[in-house]
Copies of this chain bind each other. A is one copy, B any other.
Amino acid sequence: MYRPQIKVLDCTIRDGGLMNNWQFEDCFVKAIFDTCCNARIDYMEIGYKSSESAYSRDENGAWKFCDDADIIRVLGEDCADRGIKLSAMADIGRIEYDDIPPKERSVITLIRVACYVHQIDKAIALAEHCMDKGYEATINLMAVSRAMERDIDEALNDIAKCRVPVFYLVDSFGAMYCEQVERLAKKYVAALPGKTIGFHGHNNQQLAFANTIEAIIHNCNWVDGSMYGIGRGAGNCPLELLVSFLKNPKFDPRPIYDCVQHEMIPLREKIEWGYHVPYLITGVMNEHPRSAMKFMEAPKRGSFVEFYNKIADGTTLE
């Protein structure tokens, strides 16, 4: 028996865009959207809401900003009526309240506020501001694998008292094993009665899908995936695996298989996301993947063993 509360969010464009500064072809973004609609995914996260003053349009594609004009131009006039809800992520410190239009002037339904543990008060304020403007909102607490327990407890205490209904467990560094996911999911569920817990994994150790299952077992009801696992570094939970696993008959994996074959495998020739030893190493070491991304992007790659030795020694690679 499936759990009808489980919602699936596709983050292909938003998290995948971290690999190419959101410079996707319009037809690619439309294909992802159509795939999500046809597979009956609940939410599609189209990108970030960011201030134009903070980032340049020369360096970043449209999905760094998620203007409604761009969304409608690419996804179609009827994009709000296709049975899927559109989402955008907002990073604390990279957006002003005025950058967020009232809901009645936007096709976006959900704004997910991403923050580090020391930014939790700002995240709550921004998320509640979005709710006041008419949006659904979540808070996604990043990099929790490196946060101190005392700080997590205080954050959970603040979240429990706020109006934001959904709170995400995020394995930003792909550092968690199932036992860590179990422990944190139980902690979040216990600390936040009446709220929904989400899970967003990274695939540094080929555990993003397994950890998503673990999160579901421990009562996380919002889960993220991306087509063929595209995302920063080692990427995310592959949506085709997640939807093949979930038993809700409304989901159809076939459009996703088709999208992987005709959109993602060709794109993978140009952007090298996914499992690679440098991402394994930063994951095992509970490090941000930026040093591994730099390693992977170098015109001539160095030695895996030297990379490991530097990370293990704590030598800064940047």
Residues of A bordering B, CB below 8 Å: 177-179, 203, 205-211, 213-214, 217, 238, 240-241, 244-245, 253-254, 257-258, 260-261, 277, 280-281, 284, 303-305, 308-309
Contact = CB atoms under 8 A, between A and B. Distances in A.
A217 B214 CA distance: 14
A183 to B, nearest CB: 13
Nearest to A214: B178
A261 B305 CA distance: 9
A140 to B, nearest CB: 23
Contacts of A284: 244-245
A209 B209 contact: no
Summarize A's interface: helix, strand, loop or mixed: helix
A89 to B, nearest CB: 25
Contacts of A205: 209, 241, 244-245
What's the number of copies of this chain in the assembled complex? 2
Most buried by B among A177, A206, A208, A280: A206
Contact of A178 (B210, B254, B280): B210
Contact of A258 (B213, B240, B281, B303): B303
Nearest to A312: B254
B305 A213 contact: no
B245 A280 contact: no
A312 to B, nearest CB: 9
Given A177-B213, A258-B303, 5 more contacts: A205-B245, A206-B209, A206-B238, A210-B210, A260-B277
25 contacts: A177-B245, A178-B178, A203-B206, A205-B209, A205-B241, A205-B244, A206-B208, A206-B209, A206-B210, A206-B238, A207-B209, A240-B280, A241-B280, A244-B280, A244-B284, A253-B308, A254-B305, A257-B277, A257-B281, A257-B305, A257-B308, A258-B304, A258-B305, A260-B304, A261-B305
A305 B39 CA distance: 13
A205 B207 CA distance: 10
A71 to B, nearest CB: 28
Nearest to A264: B277
Contacts of A303: 258, 261
Contacts of A213: 177-178
